[in-house]
Amino acid sequence: MRHLLLFTLLVTMLFSCKQKEEATNKFLPVDKNATKETVGLYNRLFQLMDKGIMVGHQDDLAYGHSWYKEDGRSDVKDATGDYPAVIGWELGHVEIGAEFNLDSVYFQDMKRYIRETYDRGGITTASWHGNNIVTGNTAWDCAQDSVVRTILPNGVNHEKYLVWLDRVAGFFLDLKDKDGNLIPVVFRMYHEHTGAWFWWGSKQCTPAEYKQLWKMTVEYLRDKKNVHNLLYAYSPSETENEAAYLERYPGDEYVDIVGYDSYVNGKSAEDIQRYKEAMDRNLKIVTDYAAKANKIPVIGETGMESLPDSTYFTGIVYPLITQYKIAWVLFWRNAWEADKPNHYYMPFEGHSAANDLKEFTERPQIFMNECIK
């Protein structure tokens, strides 16, 4: 009898452990060979999303308003006492083998910041303003409508572009934790493509070409370069409706996270009203689609430059985002460059919106790094 009881207990334990594992890793990313940590991150995002919304900030650890490279510093931490839960990085110029990115962040430093974030339980996402391969100019050189075509298989720049992707792959494959395991990252590539300001934009390539570019990139990184620590995020600029949102969508087989980018352009009441409407509309588009397709919805980029409205966080952002279930909202960078004194999207210590950000981050539904540890 005792043996039977013991046996039943063991079977129950085994069964419940299995159940737990299944429950935790219910969702599989587009990379079926994704590392355990990457699958873990994907599932963690689904779980976190049920509880609250994470705060993200671009380049948070590398520099801030009027400072550059001070270990442990963060404008957000100075203003609120904690690091953001999500930190965004920019890979632009990694493709040409540069030592530092287009905003002067050394890739070696970036890798260290990503490790620090991971050790703190935080989440990393990366954008990529890669150069225009035809002209050698920046991502914003969008005068031609044929750059993407030259990159696709059989295009004149295809082989050269694969070398660029090799370097992107090399960066991701060099992100290791202290035990040598790859650190998972959300790769938000070819973003704002419904606008026409990058060489991969809506006037620069056809929907079919854009989709091909996306698929080619995923397949090359995943299947040829064996990069298995990525979740792929699709993030157009704000759109009018689901059809427009999906016009260039490469398909559920190629996307893990669905987001959008939207900013307050200006500071008048009309500008703010327009932003509120665009945010609300796009939040609905991404959350509805994410629910249908089992994806993670996010706000890929947002903000109000210089924060002329000192109640932006509690007065504008909070009431909008808390009506929806999203994983995070990422605010754009606080430029360190002397010639960009007004280019910041998070308050720093002493800024008139600093208390508002603090109050926002202290609300139970809003998650900073400590909340997700």
E strand residue ranges, the chain: 53-58, 63-64, 67-68, 86-90, 123-127, 185-188, 230-234, 257-264, 296-304, 328-331, 366-367
301 part of the active site: yes
Size of the site for ligand BMA (CB under 6 A): 7
Task: Please tell me whether residue 102 binds ligand BMA under the rule CB under 6 A.
Answer: yes
Per DSSP, the three-state class of 28 is: coil
User: What minimum distance in Å lies between the beta carbon of 131 and ligand BMA?
Assistant: 12
Contact 64, 348 (CB under 8 A): yes
Measured in whole angstroms, the distance separating CA 157 from the mean position of its chain's CA atoms is: 27
User: What minimum distance in Å lies between the beta carbon of 90 and ligand BMA?
Assistant: 4
Annotated active-site residue in 90, 95, 238, 301: 301
> 297: which residues sit within 8 A by CB, 6+ positions away?
49, 257, 258, 259, 283, 286, 287, 289, 290, 324, 325, 326, 327
φ, ψ (nearest 5 deg) of residue 124: -115, 135
CA distances from 296 to 247, 251, 287 (A): 19, 14, 8
Write the binding mask 130 to 169 for ligand BMA: x where contact by CB under 6 A, - elsewhere: ----------------------------------------
User: What minimum distance in Å lies between the beta carbon of 138 and ligand BMA?
Assistant: 8
Write the binding mask 305 to 334 for ligand BMA: x where contact by CB under 6 A, - elsewhere: ----------------------------x-
Name the closest residue to ligand BMA (Cβ): 90
Of 104 and 294, nearer to ligand BMA (C-beta) is: 104
Write the binding mask 331 to 360 for ligand BMA: x where contact by CB under 6 A, - elsewhere: --x---------x-----------------
Of 103 and 256, nearer to ligand BMA (C-beta) is: 103
> 251: which residues sit within 8 A by CB, 6+ positions away?
211, 215
Query: Taking CB under 6 A as the criterion, which residues in 205-244 touch ligand BMA?
Result: none
Of 210 and 263, nearer to ligand BMA (C-beta) is: 263
Beta bridge partners of 237: 261
Among 78, 103, 256, 309, binds ligand BMA (CB under 6 A): 103
φ, ψ (nearest 5 deg) of residue 123: -120, 140
Task: Please tell me whether residue 192 binds ligand BMA under the rule CB under 6 A.
Answer: no
User: What minimum distance in Å lies between the beta carbon of 102 and ligand BMA?
Assistant: 5
177 closest CA partner among 71, 60, 36, 76: 36
Task: Please tell me whether residue 57 binds ligand BMA under the rule CB under 6 A.
Answer: no
Torsion, Cα 243 246 248 253, to 10 degrees, reads -150
Task: Please tell me whether residue 90 binds ligand BMA under the rule CB under 6 A.
Answer: yes
Of 54 and 62, nearer to ligand BMA (C-beta) is: 62
Cα–Cα dist 243/46, whole Å: 25
Task: Please tell me whether residue 193 binds ligand BMA under the rule CB under 6 A.
Answer: no
Annotated active-site residue in 192, 238, 253, 305: 192
Of 92 and 347, nearer to ligand BMA (C-beta) is: 92
Tokens for 259, please give them. Answer: 């987001």
Contact 272, 228 (CB under 8 A): no
How many CB atoms lie under 10 A from the CB of residue 89?
Answer: 26
116 part of the active site: no
Cα–Cα dist 255/232, whole Å: 5
User: What minimum distance in Å lies between the beta carbon of 109 and ligand BMA?
Assistant: 15
Helix, strand, coil percentages, rounded to 5, for the chain: 40, 15, 40
Among 129, 149, 188, 193, binds ligand BMA (CB under 6 A): 129
DSSP H or E segment with residue 2:
helix 2-24
Tell me the CA end-to-end span of the chain in Å, nearest whole number.
44
User: What minimum distance in Å lies between the beta carbon of 140 and ligand BMA?
Assistant: 9
Of 333 and 351, nearer to ligand BMA (C-beta) is: 333
User: What minimum distance in Å lies between the beta carbon of 264 and ligand BMA?
Assistant: 14
User: What minimum distance in Å lies between the beta carbon of 338 and ligand BMA?
Assistant: 13
Which residues lie near ligand BMA (CB under 6 A)?
Answer: 90, 92, 102-103, 129, 333, 343
Give the residue numbers marked as catalytic.
Answer: 192, 301
